[in-house]
Amino acid sequence: MDGWAREGLVRRRVRVMVTLLVIASPAASGPTAGAQPEIPTPGPLAEPRPLRQVGAPADLTRAAIPPDNRQTPQKIALGEKLFFDGRLSADGTVACGTCHDPARAFTDGKRVSIGIGGRAGQRNAPTILNALYNKTQFWDGRVTTLEEQAALPIVNPVEMGQPSLNAAVARIAAIREYQDAFQEVFGGRPNGPDLLRAIASYERTQLSFDSPFDHFIAGDASAIDGAAKRGWELFNTRGRCNKCHALTDAERDVTNFTDHDFHVQTEMSALGRFLITKKESDIASFKSPNLRNVLVTAPYFHDGSQETLWDVVDHYNKGDGLQNPYLDEDIQPLALTEDDIDDLVAFLASLTSGDYREQAVKELARQRAVSRTTRPQRDTARAFDPKPPRAPLPHP
């Protein structure tokens, strides 16, 4: 088959997939109304975090600061103020902090985020903790820098709803406090690029380590219990978690727990990265998230479809999505026992930073209680079955 014929075949397949996904997707009927969330009040958990933390990668942290946007205390303070200011949104009700609440480890605890007018989005809000280490931003990796990332929610009609970045700037440019702050930090009046630089600078202060696991890796054998230690071994062996949550599956990752890549890991319910790359192989693929503080950032996955970490492990244990022809080849039944699953969850819980210790204790108890009565993803028999043949690609 020559190149032109192949391209035509791919396009026909994609048209079929787009049609099926639009029919199947709950988002096909448009945004639905939800309760308008309040903008959180910044507290101690919103403050810039120390650079020296057990487990924090000093070299990666320095490399994450772009030469054209160096950190200064004044710029970071300005970025924090903007991050929690609803006046950047079209109706004054939504700020960056609405979907990224420090008290919830910079998430919102919802399956999908709610924007202006109670409009429901299509994605679960990822944490900004350790986002400075990301190679791409958003679930589909549509941009690479935090400056680029900061702009898009402002002009998204479902999120902050501004018709343009300039419209958001105009809302704050008339405020004397902002005029003075921009003059001090950037030497001029408020403008779009500098606004984004300030927000990104604040976000880069949110590095989060100092977890029990970090202390264990640093040499304190008593920092995590036996279950978490067994879970760490499972994570890198039979659990196959390291296939997506390590830089390579041959070398253990103790820092960010992501391969910075995109994978199809479930049944097809959204086009995902395909909308960015237009590659057939990227249909329904999403970025592997960083796993730090994962316990306190429920619900999980790009669509918030999994309520607990037990649900997440059950999902992979049974090899969910095996009828998806684009499914990542590493997904397969894992044959993990209930004790194995509990151990994996214990390890994931050990990745919670010290700042969220109290929340983690409550959340782990909540999720454990739910898991003892409600396990919608559990399929023990299927988890021990051999992997079936890959489903064929859809016919053009």
Q: Which of 179, 203, 227 is the last residue of a domain?
A: 203
What is the number of residues in the chain?
Answer: 396
Distance in angstroms (rounded) separating the CA atoms of residues 36 and 46: 21
Q: What is the pLDDT of residue 16?
A: 39
Query: Residue 32 has which token pair?
Result: 């639905």
Q: Tell whether 221 and 183 lie within a shared domain.
A: no
Are 328 and 244 in a shared domain? yes
Q: Are residues 298 and 178 in the same domain?
A: no
Whether residue 152 contacts residue 146, with contact meaning beta carbons closer than 8 Å, is answered with no
Q: Both 53 and 180 in a single domain?
A: yes
Sequence-distant (≥ 6) Cβ neighbours of residue 74 within 8 angstroms: 181, 184, 185
237 and 300 fall within a common domain: yes
Where among 180, 203, 226 does a domain terminate?
203
- Domain shared by 81 and 182, yes or no: yes
**Cis preceding-peptide flag for 299 (omega within 30 of 0):** yes
Residue corresponding to tokens 């787009």: 18
- 6 occurs within a structural domain: no
In a shared domain, residues 217 and 188: no
Closest CA relative to residue 365, chosen from 295, 294, 315 = 295
Q: Would 9 be classed as within a structural domain?
A: no
Do 216 and 259 belong together in one domain?
yes
pLDDT of amino acid 10? 41
The structure tokens listed for 86 are: 């609803």
Q: Is the pTM of this model over 0.85?
A: yes
The pLDDT of residue 25: 39
pLDDT at 141: 86
What is the domain range of residue 103? 44-203
Burial class (CB in 10 A: 0-12, 13-18, 19+), 47: middle
Question: Does residue 33 fall inside a structural domain?
Answer: no
For the chain, the three-class secondary structure string (H helix, E strand, C coil) is CCHHHHHHHHHHHHHHHHHHHHHHCHHHHCCCECCCCCCCCCCHHHCCCCCCCCCCCHHHHHHCCCCCCCCCHHHHHHHHHHHCCHHHCCCCCCCHHHHCEHHHCCECCCCCCECHHHEECCCCCCCCCCHHHCCCECCCCCECCHHHHHHHHHHCCCCCCCCCHHHHHHHHHCCHHHHHHHHHHHCCCCCHHHHHHHHHHHHCCCCCCCCHHHHHHCCCCCCCCHHHHHHHHHHHCCCCHHHCCCCECCECCCCCCCCCCEECCCCCCCCECHHHHCCHHHCCEEECCCCCCHHHHCCECCCCCECCHHHHHHHHHCCCCCCCCCCCCCCCCCCCCHHHHHHHHHHHHCCCCHHHHHHHHHHHHHHHHHHCCCCCCCCHHHHCCCCCCCCCCCCC
Q: Quick check: is 343 in a domain? A: yes
- Pick out the chain residues at pLDDT < 50: 1-32
Tens digits of per-residue pLDDT, 160-208? 999 999 999 999 999 999 999 999 999 999 999 999 999 999 999 999 9
Are 174 and 225 within one domain? no
CB 264 within 8 A of CB 284: yes
* 261 shares its domain with 300: yes
Tell whether 236 and 360 lie within a shared domain: yes
Report the C-alpha gap between 331 and 312 in whole angstroms: 13
Find the angle CA(352)-CA(239)-CA(280) to the nearest 5 degrees: 95
Alpha carbons 249 and 271: distance in angstroms, whole number:
27
Given 152, 178, 203, which residue is the final one in a domain? 203
Let me know if residue 18 belongs to a domain: no
Which residues, in sequence order, are bridge partners of residue 248? 251
Decide if 169 contacts 195 (C-beta within 8 A). Answer: yes
Reading phi first (left if > 0) and then psi (alpha if -120 to 50, else beta), residue 290 is in beta
> Do 144 and 266 fall within a single domain?
no
* Domain tally, the chain: 2
Instruction: Tell me if 318 is assigned to some domain.
Output: yes
Residue 30, pLDDT score: 39
Closest CA to 29 of 116, 99, 122: 122
Residue 272: phi and psi, rounded to 5, are 60, -135
pLDDT for position 385: 87
Contact in structure between 173 and 189 (CB atoms under 8 Å): yes
Spatial distance between the Cα atoms of 216 and 223, rounded to a whole number of angstroms: 5
Q: Is residue 394 in some structural domain?
A: no
Q: What is the CATH number of the domain that holds 376?
A: 1.10.760.10
